[in-house]
Amino acid sequence: MKLGEGVEAAIHCAAMLAGVEGSGTLSGATMAEAFGLSPSYLLKHLNLLSAAGVLESVPGPAGGYRLARAAERITLLDIVLAVEGREPAFRCGEIRQRGPVKFDASAYAKPCGINAAMLKAERAYRAALAEARLSDIVADFMGTADQRVVAASCAFVERHQRPQKSTKQA
């Protein structure tokens, strides 16, 4: 199975946003710069994540994106489904019923074994992604990555995050 590059970008952006303090945001252009991606390409994926409730899009000149819920409540499956859609990766076209030798539908009463095996693998794949929490990915990065990379990543987020003004009156 091959997932689009957008999945990688979406996961990296969500992980980056996990480092934003409070109600701050990062702009899509900032995240595109961080990963060497086209802003328009990345914005398409950020909008999908927002529509799925993984990210929140904050309008205005100091706006940008932030996680819509705590990183502990976001799974890799949430992100993959937001970007790739909910349809299974394998879609059986029942090609066994095509070709020069045709039988009526009764000859194919038993479900296609290939389809059953592929859907079983899809369920296992999705279950594994549902167990992988964004917070665990971030914690693993913070604890095991080269500390130069960790420091540079944290400094980038700190330098570019946009604090949001409180709308509450004192």
* pLDDT value of residue 7: 96
Give the pLDDT band (50/70/90) at residue 170.
very low
Give the whole-angstrom CA distance, residue 23 versus residue 93.
47
Least reliable range by pLDDT among 3-7, 42-46, 135-139: 3-7
Is 60 exceeded by the pLDDT of residue 167?
no
Give the whole-angstrom CA distance, residue 154 versus residue 20.
9
For the chain, which domains are there? 5-87+133-160 (1.10.10.10)
To the nearest whole number, what is the mean pLDDT of the chain?
Answer: 92
Q: How far is residue 51 from each of residues 35, 47, 122, 132, measured CA to CA in Å?
A: 22, 6, 24, 21
Residue with tokens 């990296």: 12
Is 80 exceeded by the pLDDT of residue 100?
yes
Using the CB atoms, write b or e for 71-80: b if 16+ within 10 Å.
beebbbbbbb
Tokens representing residue 167 in the block: 């709308």
* pLDDT value of residue 169: 46
Give the pLDDT band (50/70/90) at residue 1.
low
Asked if residue 85 lies in contact with residue 52, where contact means CB atoms within 8 angstroms, the answer is: no
What secondary structure letter does DSSP report for 58? E
Give the pLDDT band (50/70/90) at residue 166.
low
Which residues 6+ apart lie within 8 Å of 1 measured at CB? Answer: 89, 125
* pLDDT value of residue 168: 46
Give the whole-angstrom CA distance, residue 161 versus residue 170.
25
